[in-house]
């Protein structure tokens, strides 16, 4: 089941690249952009992370935290962030039954007749009250970070 506007974001822990944990409730009282992407260091995912990182200061001015999420390992996130000087924090959602599962973002996909489980590129804008204010699913990367920033500024 896909995340819906108005729902409370499930408070499921994600792993940070440093080995700690981060939960949506850690951002209580401020807006949060969660952008889920398939895989570190692939062309679209790299562009998306660089675009959000380039606007990180503008998101901060809008009182909005950023968090990029994939199933990649914490070590892979560290390498990816260092390689591209990313400012947007990353988190790992590797656990079965994790946040992406609860939100319906980790799902069955088909590519060239092959069926597999994968992350649907999805962005959530969460209000300071912990409720989902906006959902972008099947995201096209070009111009997306700027569109999310405008929505965060308007919220």
Total count of residues recorded for the chain: 155
CA distance 86 to 1: 31
**Which has more confidence, 97 or 48?**
48
> Which is catalytic among the residues 14, 22, 33, 45?
45
Question: What digits encode the pLDDT tens for the residues 10-46?
Answer: 999 999 999 899 999 999 999 999 999 999 999 999 9
The alpha carbons of the chain give a radius of gyration, in whole angstroms, of 14
Q: Which two tokens stand for residue 39?
A: 């895989």
**Active site includes 45?**
yes
User: Hey, what domains does the chain have and what are their CATH numbers?
Assistant: 36-154 (3.40.30.10)
pLDDT-based confidence at residue 1 (cuts at 50, 70, 90): low
- pLDDT value, residue 94: 84
């Amino acid at each position: 089941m896909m995340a819906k506007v108005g729902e409370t974001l499930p408070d499921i822990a994600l792993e940070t690249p440093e080995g700690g944990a981060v939960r949506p409730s850690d951002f209580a009282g401020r807006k949060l952009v969660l952008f889920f992407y398939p895989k570190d260091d692939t062309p679209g995912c790299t562009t998306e992370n660089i675009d959000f990182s380039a606007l990180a200061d503008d998101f901060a001015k809008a009182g909005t935290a950023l968090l990029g999420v994939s199933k990649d390992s914490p070590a892979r996130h560290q390498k990816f962030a260092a390689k591209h000087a990313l400012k947007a924090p990353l988190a790992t959602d590797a656990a079965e039954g994790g946040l992406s599962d609860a939100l319906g973002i980790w799902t069955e996909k088909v590519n060239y007749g092959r069926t597999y489980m994968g992350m649907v590129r999805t962005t959530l804008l969460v209000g300071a009250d912990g409720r989902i204010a906006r959902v972008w699913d099947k995201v096209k990367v070009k111009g997306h970070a700027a569109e999310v920033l405008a929505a965060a500024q308007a919220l």
